[in-house]
Amino acid sequence: MCTVNGGVGELNGRGGALLALSCAAQFMVVLDVSVVNVALPAIQSSLGFDAVDLQWVVNAYAVVFAGFLLLGGRLADVWGRRRVFLAGLAGFTAASLVGGLAYTAGLLATARAVQGLGAAVLAPATLTALTTAFPDGARRTRALAAWTALGVAGGTAGNLLGGALTEFLTWRATLLINVPVGVLALVAGVKLLPVDTGRESRPRLDIPGAVAVTLGLAALSYGLSRFADGGLAVAALGVGITALAGFVLIERRTTGAPLIPLRLFSSRTIMVGNVVMLLAGACLNPMWYFLALSMQNVLHYSALQTGLGFLPHTLLSIMVGTWLTPWLMRFTPHRLLIAGGALVAAGGFGWQSALTPGSGYLAGIAGPAVLIALGSGLLNTPLTTTVTAGIDSADAGAASGLMNTTKQAGAALGLAALVMAAGTPDTAPEHLATAYGHAFALIAAILTAAAVATFALPGRARQLAPT
């Protein structure tokens, strides 16, 4: 799964095996963000999800992952890297088994939430395992390059693999595929990861903060998606706002190591940058949900055809983000690239909102995909660079964790809001096309707002691009 010779240099022996193990675990975590998207219609038919609650197949994972991600990064310091890696992997694998065998909608959503918790523990541990196994220098650089590439590949492969598994096996295979991989990784982890050494003192874990932010995100997501239900939705929104306010209070009063040091928000770059990141996450992650439903429910593509239909989005965004954007960043102000990328992507989503049951693939999917991929590829790297630039070394980890959490939280809240905007039409393709069109039009509006917000970032005539 992960190349340890040639392309990433000579990473042989125990180091190469550790690299392969970390890559496999990271691949699983990223894969499961997207692998169920193409399977959604089959899951809905099999377990009886309604049009609103179907989002929880995706959002149960995203909400818990976002809420516990910062805490997961701290666990290795407290309980030991080996112990945390194995615990996160075991939980993720067991939840995948339960989800793949689930016979009710509630059980599947619960299993996906436990998967998200396992992913929040496992994802930081995979990176920690590499940084401790490889000292600073060329070998660590090559190892991190391989780890990053496999993360990108996991997201790219999710839709295609999900389509193939659903088409030729069953939607359950999109979750059950994690089980043999997870078991093999557990056996390898027991053999390869060094035994944790004792610690004289252990930093305090901010568990109340993690619980409060997760409860807040879950309640807000539920309230947004059920906004038409009146009283219940208002109650959920109230719980969500109260929980998030409680989270801020907890972080203010935490004297040890808070999940998010509130002093970070004194920086206009961090404050505005994370607002833009939240808005971008609310658009670019949920789009896969609506695109998968559009291709299958409106255009009547098979699961495999849908997975293949995503290739322009994934391949173009990778090419733009990997080659074109770093070159442009050498002589173009970052906020101009971010705003321009958001507007180009907004144009693509505006085009996508016009999809009808009679649309062909080129005009209905591939054409908008070019603009969406170009725009997202242009904005992601400079936005990430801007949000994490100029931060004191003592806060670098916290700023990076905040950025990742903001992106995941935006994805969860954005999906809930977009599901509300789409409404609950009947199953006629023309009515579904109109509903999904409302969601894509709202995405275009949010990205336009993100472009405007970008100009509140501190102006810099030139910013260094990655070399």
Angle at which helices 396-422 and 56-79 pack, to 10 degrees? 170
Judge if 347 and 436 occupy the same domain: yes
Pair 162, 76 in one domain: yes
Residue 240 lies inside a defined structural domain of this protein? no
The residue among 220, 238, 259 that closes a domain is 259
Tally of structural domains, the chain: 2
- Out of 36-40, 298-302, 411-415, the most confident range is 298-302
Give the domain CATH number at 164: 1.20.1250.20
Output the six-digit token pair for 200: 């004289």
Cβ 46 vs Cβ 107: under 8 Å: no
Per-residue b or e along 176-190, where b marks 16 or more CB atoms closer than 10 Å to that residue's CB: bbbeebbeebbebbe
Are 195 and 293 members of one domain? no
Query: 276 with 198, same domain?
Result: no
Per the domain annotation, does 223 fall within a domain?
no
Sign of CA dihedral 240, 245, 247, 250: negative
> Does some domain include residue 372?
yes
Cα 168 to its chain centre, rounded Å, is 26
Lowest mean pLDDT among 247-261, 268-282, 340-354, 429-443: 247-261
Whether residue 24 has pLDDT greater than 80: no
Same domain? For 280 and 193 the reply is: no
Q: Is the pLDDT of residue 343 over 50?
A: yes
Contacts of 288 by beta carbon, 8 Å cutoff, 6+ apart:
34, 37, 159, 310
CA 443 to chain centre: 17
Residue 279 has pLDDT above 80, yes or no: yes
Q: What is the DSSP letter of 296?
A: I
Return the closest-CA partner of residue 126 out of 24, 10, 11, 9: 24
In angstroms, rounded to a whole number, what is the distance separating the alpha carbons of residues 58 and 176? 16
- 220 touches 241 (CB < 8 A): yes
More confident call, 321 vs 379:
379
Tell me whether residue 438 is in a domain: yes
Looking up tokens 């603009």, which residue turns up? 371
Q: How far apart are CA 175 and CA 173, in angstroms?
A: 5
Question: For residues 120 and 73, what is the distance between their CA atoms, to the nearest angstrom?
Answer: 8
Final residue belonging to a domain, choices 215, 244, 259? 259
The answer on 180 and 281 residing in a single domain is no
The two structure tokens encoding residue 190: 């027991």
- Chain segment 230-264, per-residue pLDDT in tens: 677 788 888 889 998 998 888 888 766 677 777 77
Question: What is the span of the domain harbouring residue 100?
Answer: 12-206+254-259
pLDDT digits (tens, 9 = 90+) for 404-436: 788 888 888 888 889 888 887 778 899 999 999
Say yes or no to pLDDT of 102 above 90: yes
One domain for residues 290 and 169: no
pLDDT for 9? 40
On whether both 396 and 281 belong to a single domain, the answer is: yes
Q: Which of 242, 259, 276 is the last residue of a domain?
A: 259
**Do residues 324 and 444 share a domain?**
yes
**Angle, alpha carbons 204-206-210 (nearest 5°):** 155
pLDDT score of 7: 39
pLDDT (tens digit per residue) in 442-457? 999 999 999 999 988 8
Who wins on pLDDT, 352 or 200? 352
Query: Is 109 among the domain residues?
Result: yes
Whether 200 and 269 map to the same domain: the answer is no
Statement to judge: residues 177 and 323 lie in one domain: no
Residue 274: inside a domain, yes or no? yes
119-123, 202-206, 403-407: range with lowest mean pLDDT: 202-206
- Which range of 164-173, 187-196, 253-262 scores highest in mean pLDDT? It is 164-173
430 is a domain residue: yes
Same domain, 310 and 428: yes
Closest by CA to 284, choosing from 383, 216, 162, 218, is 383
Residue 7 maps to a domain: no
> Averaged over 19-41, what is the pLDDT?
79
CB of 399 closer than 8 Å to CB of 267: no
Work out the pLDDT band at 211, boundaries 50, 70, 90: confident
Nearest to 189 by CA among 94, 81, 86: 86
Stretch among 138-147, 186-195, 252-261, 369-378 having the lowest mean pLDDT: 138-147
